[in-house]
Each structure stands twice: as structure tokens, then as C-alpha cells.
Amino acid sequence: MNATWSRFNITSIVLGFAFLYLPIVLLVVFSFNESKLVTVWGGFSTKWYVSLFHNQGLMDATWVTARVAVISATVATVLGTLAALTLTRYTRFKGRTLFSGMVFAPLVMPEVITGLSLLLLFVAVGLDRGFLTVTLAHITLTMCFVAVVVQSRLITFDRSLEEAAMDLGAPPVKTFFQITLPVIMPAIVSGWMLAFTLSLDDLVIASFTSGPGATTLPMKIYSQVRLGVTPEINAACTILIAVVAVGVIIASLANKRREFQRQRDEQAAQRG
Amino acid sequence: MSNAAVTAATSSRATAAGKSALARLGEAFVSRLVILIPYLWLVFFFLIPFVIVFKISLSQTAIAIPPYTPVLGFGDGLAGFFAQLNELSIDNYIWLTQDALYVNAYVTSVIVAAISTVLTLLVGYPIAYGMARAPAMLRPTLLMLVILPFWTSFLIRVYAWIGILKPEGLLNQLLLATGIIGQPLVILNTYTAIFIGIVYSYLPFMVLPLYSALEKMDYSLIEAAKDLGCPPTSAFWKITFPLSLPGVIAGCLLVFIPAVGEFVIPDLLGGSQTLMIGKTLWNEFFANRDWPVSSAVAVILLLLLIVPIMLFQRAQARAQEQDR
């Protein structure tokens, strides 16, 4: 009975996924449109991709965005993992409620508030707006997402593994790096990727906290979208989608392989 | 016993346990560090900024860099601090309540967010339910397919809808070609476009918590109800829906709270005729360069959202307890 998948269930899934994917598919299709009008098909062409690579402003923005995303995702992953450990391992310390509030609130906080408050902080401490401030802002936002992802893995973690290691004389720090870290690694990797794409994606917080010379790609796309929809933006968006999709697929395949390997090892261990 | 004897006894015990005491000290230090580093980061970059926003919302606009009068610093010593205390004003807040534009923007934002949340729930529930009832082998793939759009840029996904909803856009072309409508529908730059944009962008946030609640459900309960002659509709309302309530609450809060302050969707799809507070704050800041008023707008927005945010945090904490 549990496996009954009624026609209604299938229909709602198919319609739901059509709704989720159709706009993206159309966007990709029209990036190959010969015509300058985004909504009228004028034949296949890759000319918008060519013109994209001659658009120096867009290329500069891409380079800035990529650097911000890599740096902020990496720092955010370290901080987010520490925050996740704090949330799951230390259930009693002063100010724990405040801490979990500060981890969960940024997930839902409207971006205009986060952006404005960070900007005012940077002005108050006299930090010039630019590359550094955008990166700091993105670390703060994305570390909370990393914390949630890693935390959900830590909760289901079998702590007897750690206890066994410590009973055998391994000091806690060594236990963490040799036992805990490898087990939660997939969650840390997906946390990093989530942080990376969130940073790549962010318009509002970047607009508040960035300054001259640190225009990010979403800011560039946004300013062009306001002037009108062009196939060139469609082409830029398509490349971004492709990069992220390839990354996600590679990561999930790697994950699956590791999982498969682990299962085989477990089976081998049981047999042996 | 003399003091010296006590000291000697303690020190000899300390030598015996020397290594482990040192190790324990190091351990305590490391665990303190694990807590302190993210804690201090969030206090500095998340909590203190709000205090600054509140402080600046009490200051006056000035033609300067930064464009507001200085408030509450210890730069001029304690006397200067108290002198500035008198200059604090709630003028910005009075201004917000007197101008109908702001009040309207707050009310509209809450209504738009509430309607969008209900619409997202109506669209998301059947999807989540279908996924939860899917063959176990298919579920990871379906889950992946729901998450994947979330990885593609939010801005891009909103932008994609402009081409679809425009008067000469793809939706109107399709409807005109099939003869369903006689003349193009005006959807872009209306609240309808904002609803579509929010439902579309936030759908994964709704589906994921719903799915995780529905997947845990024991479907033999439904069977039992059916065997006892309960019609499917009332079985749904009496069993399935109440059991999925934690997912419904989490999903609704995940959509509602950010939607109230949403900027990108009302700006790109709503045009200039629609009014939402995120857009108002943005314009106040970037177009009018009025930092104190935009800070006051942010403070009131935060006050509006503080209860939903606390509910969200509590729901998260409870879910975490249950998973343990």
C-alpha cells in the first residue's frame, strides 16, 4: 500500500517539475536565439556567447564574483562547521539560545535588512567598501547555511565510533580529524557548494556592501536587466546554470560512489 | 598538617596525573575555541550591526559622508555622550507613521507575503505528497530535482519570468495562438506577477520540509481509517494533514518571513505600480540616500518579523531534538 503511487500523485509531480523547470529551459533555449528579441525565435545562433566574451565589464564582474565566492565559501565552511559542532555537541553553555538564534535567524532574515545592517557596521568601523566587505558579508550569511547542513549530518552521527577511538587512547582532537571529519565530509562538501552558489547568486547584500571596483556578476546582470531583457544576459545566465549544474552533478556522483564504496566495505567487514 | 605538606602532596599527585591534566586543559581550551570563534563572529557581524541600525535610525539625515549626524559615541568623552543623548530623536519613526506610503507598504507586504505563502503551500503540498508516496528507489532523484533549481541563481530564475509574462511574452503568445484569450493579458508589473515570482522562487523551501514530514508518516494509519469506512478526504484532514503540520509550519515560515522583505521579485516583476517594503527600503537607501529613514524602516520591519523568526527558531530547535 505504501508503494501505491496514484495517478494524482504522478500528475502533481509532473506538473510541479514542469513549473520548476520550464522557465529555466526557455531561458536557455532563447540564449541561442538569432533574433535580438528574446521572445521571438529567429533561428539558432551562438553569437550572444561570442559577444559575451567581448564584454569586458561582464568578464571583470565574473572574476570578482568567482574570487568572492571561493574565499567566502571556504571561510564560511570552517566557521559553519564549528557552529554546527557547537550546536550539536555543547548543549549547555551560557548564551546557547542566543547562539542558535544567531545561526537560524540569518536563514530567513530579509536580505535588505542584513545588507543594510552590515553596511552600517562597515561604515561605523571605518572599513572601505569593496572586495573585503562583500566577502565578510557573504561569510556571515553563508556560514549559517553551512551550519544547518553539517548539523543535520552530525545529529545522525554514531558517537560510539568516537568513544571507541577515545577508549583506544586517541586524544579528542585526533579523534575529530580521523573519525568525525571523514564521516561528516560529504555534508561539509555540500555545505561548501551551497555557500559557493549562495555567494555567486547574491544581489541584495552585495549591492549594499560592495564598493567601486568590486561589482559582482549579479549586480552587473541586475543593472542590465533593468535596461531591458537581452539574449546576451540569457547567454550569461545559461553559462552560470551550466557551471552550477555540472558542479552539483559531479558532487552527487562522487558522493554516491563514496557511499557505494562504504557499503561494500561494510559488507566485506561483516563477511570477514 | 602544615601547608608545605599539603602542597607537596598535591604537587606529587599533579605529577602523576600531569599529562592527562594538561591534556584535559588543552581539551577544554579547544572546546572553548570551537564555541567562541563562530559565536564572536556572529555577535560582531550579525548582532552588533542591528544595534548600529537602531542607533542610526535615531539620528538625522545630513549632507555628509556618511550621510547622517553622529550619534552616541564616546569620542568626546562622557560629557559628549550625554550631550548627544539629548539629540537622539524619534523623528524618523514619526515620519514613517505619518506618511501613508510607508504604512501602506508594510501592510501590502504582509498581505502579499501571506497570500503567496498560502499559494506556495497549495502548489507545494501535492508535490511533496507525491514525492513521499513515490517508490523508495525514485525518491532521492525526485529530491535532487527539487533542490536543483535552488542551486541556480535566484536572480536568473526571476529574470526568466519576465520573458514569459511580458504582454508580448511566451505565455501570451501561447494563449493567443491556442485561442484561449482574444487579447494579451497584462500580468507583468502587477501583484499577480509578484505572486507567481514568490511561489516559483520559494517552492523548494516549502516542498522540502513538507516532504520530510510526510515521508516519516506511517501510511498504515490511512489504511486503517479506510478499513473503518473513513472517506479519503476526511482521512486526509484527520490524519495526514495534522501529522504533516510541523512541515507545514516550517515551510510557511521559510516562505513568509523572507517574502515580506523581498526586493528582487517586486522590483523586477512588480514594476513601479506595486508597493512593497523591501523595495521602499532599497529606494530610500540607494535613490534618496536617506540612511536614517531606511534604518528606521528596517527596524520596524524587524519588529514585524521578530515573532515569526522566533517561532521559526523554536521549530528548528524542536526538530533537532526529535532527530536526536
Are B258 and A106 an interchain contact pair (Cβ–Cβ within 8 Å)?
Answer: no
Are B301 and A30 an interchain contact pair (Cβ–Cβ within 8 Å)?
Answer: no
Per CATH, is A57-228 categorized as 2.60.40.10?
no
pLDDT block averages, 10 residues each, chain A of length 272: 67 90 87 76 82 85 92 96 90 84 89 94 90 96 93 84 86 86 88 89 92 87 81 83 80 76 77 66
**d(C-alpha B182, C-alpha B175), whole Å:** 9
What is the DSSP secondary structure assignment for residue A156, as one 8-state letter?
T
ipTM for this model = 0.85
- Show the domain range for B77: 25-87
Measured between beta carbons, the chain B residues lying within 8 angstroms of A90 are: 31, 34-35
Q: Are residue B232 and residue B263 in the same domain, yes or no?
A: yes
Task: Tell me: pLDDT of B73 over 70.
Answer: no
Which residue in chain A has the smallest CA separation from B66? Answer: A123
**d(C-alpha A17, C-alpha A11), whole Å:** 10
Which residue in chain A has the smallest CA separation from B125? Answer: A12
**d(C-alpha B256, C-alpha A108), whole Å:** 9
Measured between beta carbons, the chain B residues lying within 8 angstroms of A118 are: 45, 49
Q: Are residue B69 and residue B126 in the same domain, yes or no?
A: no
Are A116 and B53 an interchain contact pair (Cβ–Cβ within 8 Å)?
Answer: yes
Q: Are residue B71 and residue B144 in the same domain, yes or no?
A: no
Task: Tell me: pLDDT of B14 over 50.
Answer: no
Per-window interface: B 57-116 vs A, CB < 8 A: 66
Q: Are residue B186 and residue B48 in the same domain, yes or no?
A: no
- CA B80 to chain A, closest CA, distance in angstroms equals 18
Structural domain tally of chain B? Answer: 2
User: Which one, of B275, B314, B292, B246, lies nearest residue B96 by Cα?
Assistant: B292
Choose among B66, B148, B263: nearest Cβ to A112.
B263
What stretches of chain B adopt beta strand conformation (E)?
none
Q: Are residue B190 and residue B310 in the same domain, yes or no?
A: yes
Residue B65 forms part of a structural domain = yes
Choose among A20, A24, A79: nearest Cβ to B41.
A79
Are B173 and A39 an interchain contact pair (Cβ–Cβ within 8 Å)?
Answer: yes
Cα within 13 Å of Cα(A81), Cβ side: 19
Q: Which of B121, B206, B291, B313 to mutate to test the interface with A (most CBs of A within 10 A)?
A: B313
Residue B320 CA, chain-centre distance (Å), reads 18
**d(C-alpha A185, C-alpha A191), whole Å:** 10
Q: What is the pLDDT of residue B37?
A: 93
C-alpha cell at B167: 504582454
One-letter amino acid of A102: M
Are B168 and A39 an interchain contact pair (Cβ–Cβ within 8 Å)?
Answer: yes
Q: Are residue B193 and residue B46 in the same domain, yes or no?
A: no
Which residue in chain A has the smallest CA separation from B297? Answer: A113
Specify which of A87-96, B45-54, B83-92, B223-232 reaches the highest per-range mean pLDDT: B45-54
Give me chain B's average pLDDT, please.
Answer: 83
Which letter, b or e, does each residue of B19-53 get, where b requires 16 or more Cβ atoms within 10 Å of its Cβ?
Answer: eeeeeeeeeeeebeebbeebbebbeebbebbbebb
- Cell 559488507 belongs to A267
Name the least confident of A149-153, B37-41, B108-112: A149-153
Residue B254 forms part of a structural domain = yes
Which residue in chain A has the smallest CA separation from B28? Answer: A172
Q: What is the pLDDT of residue B122?
A: 96
Residue A236 CA, chain-centre distance (Å), reads 19
Q: Are residue B227 and residue B255 in the same domain, yes or no?
A: yes
What is the DSSP secondary structure assignment for residue A169, as one 8-state letter?
T
C-alpha cell at A107: 536563514
**d(C-alpha A154, C-alpha B53), whole Å:** 35
Mean pLDDT of the region B125-146: 88
Q: Are residue B309 and residue B208 in the same domain, yes or no?
A: yes
Residue B8 forms part of a structural domain = no
Helices assigned H by DSSP within A156-230: 160-167, 172-175, 181-201, 204-209, 217-227
Choose among A116, A155, A225: nearest Cβ to B159.
A225
Q: Which CATH number goes with the domain that contains B182?
A: 1.10.3720.10
Q: Are residue B180 and residue B105 in the same domain, yes or no?
A: yes
CB-CB neighbours of A119 under 10 Å: 25
Choose among A1, A9, A82: nearest Cβ to B38.
A82
The answer to whether B232 faces chain A, any CB pair under 8 Å, is no
Q: Are residue B124 and residue B269 in the same domain, yes or no?
A: yes
Residue B19 forms part of a structural domain = no
Are B43 and A102 an interchain contact pair (Cβ–Cβ within 8 Å)?
Answer: yes
Which residue in chain B has the smallest CA separation from A243? Answer: B152
How do the domains of chain A map onto residue ranges? 8-45+230-261, 57-228
Are A108 and B253 an interchain contact pair (Cβ–Cβ within 8 Å)?
Answer: yes
